[in-house]
Amino acid sequence: MTVYDIIFYLFAAVTLVSAFFVVTNRNIVHSAFFLLFTFFGVAGIYVMLGADFVAIVQLIVYVGGILILILFGVMLTNKIVSVEIKTDTIHALPASIVVGLFTGAIGAAVLNTKWNVVETPDPVPSTAAIGSMLINEYALIFELLGILLLIALIGAASMARR
Amino acid sequence: MLNVGLTHFLVISVVLFSLGIYGVITRKNAVMVLMGIELILNSANINFIAFAKFGNFGLQGQIIALFVIVLAAAEAAIALAIVINIYKTITNINVDEIDSLRD
């Protein structure tokens, strides 16, 4: 068991345990904070996969942007009288049975498939290569996504103001 | 325990996806449903990057993951705007009680 494996299991445990608390905690604010740890764990898993730039983008966009947006959403859609912002769960038992069966099926499919794994070279810094791919092969998608993000944010702002 | 390989990352992704689905199904609050969707998008991203690394597809998987992150940001902004509008209209964002279109 190498250091790589130990760090991987650490990040995996952080991700899955906090994701479990996200979906089971009754307090929405606590769920949002556990989501923070899930995003950190996923960023760590990206680093384990040699995707350093994606990991940093994950931290900046998810933790710095989406999570703050979600917290604002929680604050703006509850009558705040205390820190306790509760929410109920419905159909917990049937949902856990169905989701458990689903997990078993997909997990069995993953474990029983013989993946054609190629030996990969050691990861190298990817930022420069990603930058040049974004303005060469993926230039059109990059521009379209920029326009989409602009339209979405303008739409969201005008919708939320109404 | 065997060495960490593609299967480990796929199993992480499967469990994260299932937890996201569980959150989407069981939570009543619309913001919580949104958090479940974020978990699902993250698990898809792990899959993209894991297959890109272990299938030796270079950086294409990482670029797709970046596009997914951008889409997630747009989706979160739009969804929260809709949720805030619903809250202003019927002062409630429990997804099982917003059924006025059914009547």
Q: How many domains does chain B have?
A: 1
pLDDT score at A81: 61
pLDDT tops 70 at residue A80: no
Average pLDDT, chain B: 90
The answer to whether the CB of A70 falls within 8 A of the CB of B76 is yes
Residues of A in contact with B31 (CB under 8 A): 28, 70, 73-74, 77
> Residue ranges of the domains in chain A?
1-87, 124-162
pLDDT score at B96: 82
Q: For chain B, say whether A160 makes contact (Cβ under 8 Å).
A: yes
Which segment of A81-90, A143-152, B21-30, B49-58 scores lowest on mean pLDDT? Answer: A81-90
Domain with B30 in it = 6-90
- CA A60, A25, B38, B19 dihedral sign is positive
The answer to whether the CB of A78 falls within 8 A of the CB of A27 is no
Q: What is the CATH number of the domain that holds B66?
A: 1.10.287.3510
Q: Which CATH number fits domain A1-87: 1.10.3720.10, 3.30.70.20, 2.40.10.220, 1.20.120.1200?
A: 1.20.120.1200
Q: For chain B, say whether A147 makes contact (Cβ under 8 Å).
A: no
Q: For chain A, say whether B44 makes contact (Cβ under 8 Å).
A: no
Residue B98 lies in a domain: no
pLDDT category at A83 given cuts 50, 70, 90 is low
Give CA A39 to chain center in angstroms.
5
What contacts B80, CB < 8 A, 6 or more positions away?
A: A69, A70, A72, A73, A156, A160, B31, B34
- For B46-93, the pLDDT digits (tens) are 999 999 988 888 889 999 999 999 999 999 999 999 999 988 888 888
Residues of A in contact with B38 (CB under 8 A): 35, 62, 66, 70
ipTM confidence: 0.90
Q: For chain A, say whether B50 makes contact (Cβ under 8 Å).
A: yes
* pLDDT (average), residues A105-119: 89
Residue B75 lies in a domain: yes
SS3 B29: strand
If phi > 0 it is left, if psi is from -120 to 50 it is alpha, else beta; for residue A91 that is left
Q: How far apart are CA A46 and CA B40, in angstroms?
A: 16
Q: Which of B20, B26, B75 sits opposite A90 (nearest CB)?
A: B26
Residue B96 lies in a domain: no
**Closest approach of chain B CAs to the CA of A82, in angstroms?**
18
Residues 96-115, chain A, touching B (beta carbon < 8 A): 96, 98-100, 102-103, 106-107, 110-111, 115
Q: Name the strand (E) or helix (H) holding B31.
A: helix B30-54
Q: How far apart are CA A152 and CA B2, in angstroms?
A: 45
What's the predicted TM-score (pTM) here?
0.91
Provide Rg for chain A, Cα atoms: 20
Interchain proximity A28–B25, CB inside 8 Å: no
Residue B99 lies in a domain: no
Burial class for A77, CB neighbours closer than 10 Å (0-12, 13-18, 19+): buried
